[in-house]
Structure 1
Amino acid sequence: MGVVISVNALLEGRYRAFLFDMDGTLLNSMASAERVWGAWAKRQGLDVETFLPTIHGARSVDTIAALKIPGLDPAVEAHGITQDEIKTADGIVEISGAHKFLSALPADRWAVVTSAPRALAEARIKAAGLPAPPLLITAEDVSAGKPDPQGYRLAAQKLGVDIADCLVFEDAAVGIEAGHAAGARVVVITETHHPPLASAHPQIPAYRDLIPHIGSDGYIRLAA
């Protein structure tokens, strides 16, 4: 199981690799996503204000399936929503300092693990102007989405590192649970949180005050 650490322990720790969630963690796509999902929810007769907070962090197909709407095919609906989101990827911006932080990492030491389908993930990363991830784990790569730890474990495996030596960057409750259950250490990015998210894991606003350093032992350390 993952270890709950403090902010001081976060900065004192050493890591083989960093694993990043995407939406809300590396980039802010909230306005784009809620615009598309809000229109869909309205067509289904759902209470939009109550529904929208449930879409973050989970795969679209899982979010729709959980509603158990009679006669609705979650896979078909999720595909339609994804296509609409790809078409409306404007207004997506990086989380503060994300580009500089990612650019400072060795290519074989980081991955993005997202609940988004691959085409949408690639469109949003490009729209935000972020470096293309050397390893991208998406909704299509797992049989169970977050909070299942499968995605994070798969990323660590493909990078050739022990998940216990990884630091997971997350922003959503289901993703935090997935990273912790995978056996990684977890830090919460809070730039898009209004109000703040309650979590036992350390929280930092963004990446602008973080600097990664590669030690002579090959481990990554963080300086603030």
Structure 2
Amino acid sequence: MTPAGSEPLGVFDAVLFDFDGTLANSYESMMTAYRIFAEEYGVGLDKVRSFTGMPSESLARALLPAEQAVAGGERIDELESSNTDGVVALPGALAALEAIPATRWAIATSCTHRLITARLRAAGLPTPSVLVPCDSVANGKPAPDSFLLAAKLLGFEPSRCLVLEDAPAGVAGARAAGCAVGGVLTGHTAEELGADWHVETLADLRFDVADDGVSVFRVGG
């Protein structure tokens, strides 16, 4: 039964969450790291920001000579992992994770394992049983690898999974994996994301669990 005042968005075997901008606000921490990186490597900050949502090494490869890319990516990760000031859970994040059984949700992120561990702790969010950081796959977002691995580890077909993302690279990766994708408008417009549907934050969603999966509803508004 559809809850009063809500819109059904589908029934899924599992929900795959992005982290930054979807579950937590890490913008200030990220920008602090990007500013230092831009100054150290002589790259324009606006160019660095345009690659938000991609793994650190992929960002570095896009901006630096090939021989500097690995070290540049490691430097970004070091800067972000060592400063988690201001990293906080976004509205609705904890409620969403608590509403879904551990066997039916995962986090697939462009963070490295070191960085996602630090940010989960800072945000006060639980570590999932299935956590796929970018250093667990051959290719980070916008490639589909992280979502394909998350679905596989949970034991579900990607086509039966919903991805929740806030970045164009993540939406592209989710589509390439064959997943349904919902956009979270914390950093980009609906037009920029191009997801199947969009919400402002996870507080605009309700998750009901039954034997056949997770029913997702858009509430309010």
- Is TM > 0.5 for Structure 1 vs Structure 2? yes
Please, which of 56, 65, 71 is the counterpart of residue 69 of structure 1? Answer: 65
The Cα shift of 1:63 comes to 0.9
- SS of the counterpart of 2:12? coil
Please, which of 113, 128, 131 is the counterpart of residue 126 of structure 2? Answer: 131
Please, which of 34, 42, 45 is the counterpart of residue 45 of structure 1? Answer: 42
Higher mean alpha-carbon deviation, 41-50 vs 175-184, is at: 41-50
2:75 aligned residue: 80
**Residue 191 in structure 1 maps to residue 175 in structure 2:** no
The Cα shift of 1:160 comes to 0.4
2:3 aligned residue: none
The Cα shift of 1:30 comes to 1.0
- SS of the counterpart of 2:162? strand
Does the aligned pair in 1 maintain the 2:167–2:193 contact within 8 Å?
no
Mapped to 2, the partners of 1:106 and 1:86 lie a distance apart of 28
One-letter identity of the residue aligned with 2:74: H
Name whichever structure is richer in strand by fraction: 2
- SS of the counterpart of 1:13? strand
- SS of the counterpart of 2:129? coil
Does the aligned pair in 2 maintain the 1:190–1:197 contact within 8 Å?
no
In the comparison of the two structures, how many residue pairs are matched?
A: 211
The Cα shift of 1:211 comes to 1.9
Please, which of 209, 216, 220 is the counterpart of residue 214 of structure 2? Answer: 220
Mapped to 2, the partners of 1:147 and 1:70 lie a distance apart of 20
CA spacing shift, 1:140–1:71, aligned 2, 3 Å = closer
What root-mean-square deviation, in Å, do the aligned CA atoms of Structure 1 and Structure 2 show? Answer: 1.6
Please, which of 44, 53, 58 is the counterpart of residue 57 of structure 1? Answer: 53
The Cα shift of 1:46 comes to 1.6
| Greater RCO, CA 8 A, separation 6+ | 1
- SS of the counterpart of 1:90? coil
Provide the identity percentage. 33
1:35 aligned residue: 32
Does the aligned pair in 1 maintain the 2:167–2:187 contact within 8 Å?
no
| Runs of 4+ in structure 1 over 6 Å off | none
Does the aligned pair in 2 maintain the 1:32–1:88 contact within 8 Å?
yes
1:174 aligned residue: 169
The Cα shift of 1:196 comes to 5.4
Please, which of 114, 122, 129 is the counterpart of residue 117 of structure 2? Answer: 122
The Cα shift of 1:191 comes to 2.5
**Residue 24 in structure 1 maps to residue 18 in structure 2:** no
Does the aligned pair in 2 maintain the 1:95–1:191 contact within 8 Å?
no
1:5 aligned residue: none
- SS of the counterpart of 1:214? strand
- SS of the counterpart of 1:208? helix
- SS of the counterpart of 2:94? helix
For structure 1, the 5+ residue unaligned runs are 1-9
- SS of the counterpart of 2:60? helix
Does the aligned pair in 2 maintain the 1:112–1:133 contact within 8 Å?
yes
2:85 aligned residue: 90
Mapped to 1, the partners of 2:108 and 2:79 lie a distance apart of 21
Does the aligned pair in 2 maintain the 1:111–1:134 contact within 8 Å?
yes
